[in-house]
Amino acid sequence: MLSKYRWWRDAVIYQVYVRSFLDSTGDGVGDLAGVRAGLPYLKKLGVDGIWLSPFYPSPQHDHGYDVADYCDVDPLFGDLAEFDLLMAAARRLGVKVLLDIVPNHCSSEHPWFQEALAAEPGSPARARFHFADGRGPAGCEPPNNWHSMFGGPAWTRVGDGQWYLHMFAPEQPDWNWRNPEVGAEFDRVLRFWLDRGIDGFRIDVAAGLYKHPDLPDSDDPEADARTRDSVNPLAWNQPEVHDVWRRWRAMCEEYTARDGRERLLVGEVSVPTAREHARYVRPDELHQAFFFDLLSAPWNADAFRKVISEAMQDIAGTGSTVTWVLNNHDQVRTVTRYGEPATEGSGLGAARARAAALLMLALPGAAYIYQGEELGLPEVVDLPDDVLTDPIFRRTGSRARIRDGCRVPLPWSGQASPFGFTSGAEGARPWLPQPEYFAEYATDRALADTRSFWHLYRDGLQLRAALPQLGEGTLRWLDTPPGVLGFVRGESLVCAVNFGTAPTPSPVSGTPLLSSGPCPAGVLPGSTAAWWLADL
């Protein structure tokens, strides 16, 4: 029987990329006080909780995903006292708070890694990481042929000739989870934050903690590093990782037993199939894991139906609920991904992004919204090379997979940068430049325009909270014309999306409850989604 405390099963969580949300100090970088100031805005939008990107002490080689101290706040973002104020404010508003935990790797400035560099080969300090002798003459070649997810080899040589493993940037050495000291340290870290009242963790690289014990060569190392959908099976999805999630789940259950507040573990699980994904959300492991297949699906009714059906069969079949996502801090924003030129404020990409939002909010399970998604922000594709900060760009010299374009600071108000993002003196510059056209997407303008993305999201979230047909549960597919996807929630709520550009007859009669664009009675226009209450 499901506990009444399982708020997470159909929660809508807003991802706050802290350095780009709101700057309270005038240094051009968002911070925890800025998040606290923005909480009423998020409460008004109607989300159930927030997920905070890493704010721990870090040299910021990968914007906080290179952690030097897991139990403190980087001065760039505030301090522990400010974090406690944020938690208190969120609690007063009824907003859950999730922290981003990074257990696969740390910063090269983490004290344990610095200790390892100073220690001898074979020492206990080096055993916490993956140090190995090289191959070839004098060990001058890496220990194996693995490639980094950020480009180049996954190994870096140190002064005494050994190499260390980093599946991302060289400044992010991978932990050796086969060493029990590592697991014990993360148990301590989780308890530190749970004791401060948080509601759970988003787990970075949740499938990648364990590596094959022999560190053998990969059959296709370049393919392994191309995307997270083709990750190296020798460094990803090893069976021992499930023991970690069982231990962390038991820890969360321990805290829930004390006060009845269920803590959530949601994993960034990048595996090839929904069936493998489902193994991570078994009843004694992670509560949920992001289902990225919807995000990566092409704009096509058949493709969307296929990934939704697989998720409902394999993931929901475990007793968990699917965790849907269309955007995040690593992906091109939907408005651009679905075909929107980055410098225009309306068009096909925006219409499709609005339709996809209504589709996601109607699906059974939980949903995550990335900051700016509710404003309809496009990807900023014309950032000059000299402002790019993504380590992928530094490692490869290519702009093909860089992530800066979806991380540009939010526009809050006004007609010119910094658009209310920073409270600094006139001329203060955000850490990434905001384009002039961001004025069209500023929050104050979005709130004033009932046709905006913001109102679509707000109205969708209000209906989702009010209608018992929505939230967790099941769906039933409707017979629809080619290019149209339709399903029923409960007995009478219908969601339909026209993936084509030409209008088609509505799948049900009546006036829509909510639509992503103008929707005359009896018609579902192209690139439009709508919800109806119908007699079926």
pLDDT at 1: 33
CA distances from 383 to 64, 397, 415, 432 (A): 21, 14, 19, 8
The one-letter amino acid at 19: R
pLDDT at 344: 43
pLDDT at 220: 75
- Decide: helix, strand or coil at residue 29: coil
pLDDT at 511: 82
pLDDT at 361: 98
Contacts of residue 301, Cβ cutoff 8 Å, sequence gap at least 6? 480, 482, 483, 484, 485, 497, 499
The one-letter amino acid at 389: T
Give the pair of three-digit tokens for residue 245: 């999630």
348 close to 299: Cβ distance less than 8 angstroms: no
pLDDT at 222: 64
In the chain (536 residues long), the average pLDDT of successive 10-residue segments reads 69 98 96 98 98 98 96 98 98 98 98 98 98 96 95 95 97 98 98 98 97 93 54 92 98 96 95 92 96 95 97 91 96 90 64 98 98 97 88 77 91 95 79 96 97 98 96 94 96 96 92 93 95 88
Residue 307 CB-density burial (10 A; 0-12 exposed, 13-18 middle, 19+ buried): middle
Distance CA 528, CA 524 (A): 7
pLDDT at 339: 86
Distance CA 110, CA 115 (A): 9
pLDDT at 342: 43
> Catalytic site residues?
204, 254
